[in-house]
Amino acid sequence: MAQSRIVLWTEGEAGPRFPLDEREIGGAGGIVRNVACRDEAGRIAAARDAYVLVVSQAQIREPLLAGAPRLVGLVRTGIGLDTVDIPSATRHGVCVAHVPDFCYDEVADTAMTLLLAVARKVRVADRHVRSGEWAPSALLPMRRLRGLVLGLVGFGHIARMVAERARAFGLRVVACDPYVDGPAMAALGVDKAALETLLAQSDIISLHTPLTEETRGMIGRAAFAAMKPGAILINTSRGKVVDEDALVAALRSGRLGGAGLDVLGTEPPARDHPLFQMDTVVLTPHYASSTVEAMDDLARKVNRQIVQYLRGEWPTYLANPGVRKQAGCRLPAAHPTPRP
């Protein structure tokens, strides 16, 4: 009897936030194992016999990849890949897959929700009413959105959907992205600008960049100093794109008028995080992708790629195409049996 191939989840015994399709996985020769690993050492030990690794927030680095000789591929349950050491995975012949095309609407909706909540001081207004205070003018100053400038840092799929929504509110939209040219932005009613110009012009800045070495900490003290006094920052991308110490300082000084954050540098944050004490900040628990429809889409695409690995096929969303050329690629599809 052929040995079952382990499909491993190491981030809790309950499994991911959507169901893995054990019937389809079993039909392809796999068996699901959900474990709770408290640290990297535990994760390395658990992954030793894994064939497919399913990951969300777990850090997948060189020691794990080197210690898992049966590992053919992993699937990241989301868009971003900052938790995976892709060069190491490629060197070891391990495929890396993700789901780059889900939750666009959800994240764009969340960015606009945070924008409106901060700009209209919803958190403060709600507290006033609950405490028995009914004084609308006490919430001034606030600005009319129509005519303000929204700056998008990054101009991928989600940022484009934010731009579409923002224009409906009468916002003028500018964007910076070194990988998107001006005519492509102009076709969507958006003006291209350098980051320095965007920071100086924008009343509201919304971040839509992946976390890379290039973008880590890019919104720091210099960026806050370059912003318009009283600007609003929205972040639905990755927490570590922002230097949080610089963010707190900018909010305390009044240089930054407010922030709407779905992501933080450490998640969950410490209970004494200084942002918790600020009325000008609206926080959500990295939930931008969380709708019933998005979870159904994510589950379908993750499960499909797990089954593709088990069948020896390339995953639909291969994030490290260089692995195809690796002589040591572990996926059977890389070494087709010659026809007689």
- Marked catalytic residue, from 76, 208, 286, 330: 286
- Marked catalytic residue, from 5, 98, 238, 330: 238
What is the rounded distance in angstroms from the CA atom of residue 261 to the CA atom of residue 188? 26
273 is catalytic: no
286 is catalytic: yes
- Marked catalytic residue, from 252, 267, 311, 335: 267
- Least Cα distance to 95 among 116, 76, 114 occurs for 76
Instruction: Spell out the SS3 assignment of the chain.
Output: CCCCEEEEECECCCCCCCCCCHHHHHHCCEEEEECECCCHHHHHHHHHHEEEEEECCCCECHHHHHCCCCCCEEEECCCCCCCECHHHHHHCCCEEECCCCCCHHHHHHHHHHHHHHHHCCHHHHHHHHHCCCCCHHHHCCCCCCCCCEEEEECCCHHHHHHHHHHHHCCCEEEEECCCCCHHHHHCCCCEECCHHHHHHHCCEEEECCCCCCCCCCCECHHHHHHCCCCEEEEECCCHHHECHHHHHHHHHHCCEEEEEECCCCCCCCCCCCHHHHCCCEEECCCCCCCCHHHHHHHHHHHHHHHHHHHCCCCCCCECCHHHHHCCCCCCHHHCCCCCC
92 is catalytic: no
Tokens 């900040």 correspond to 281
Catalytic residue set: 238, 267, 286
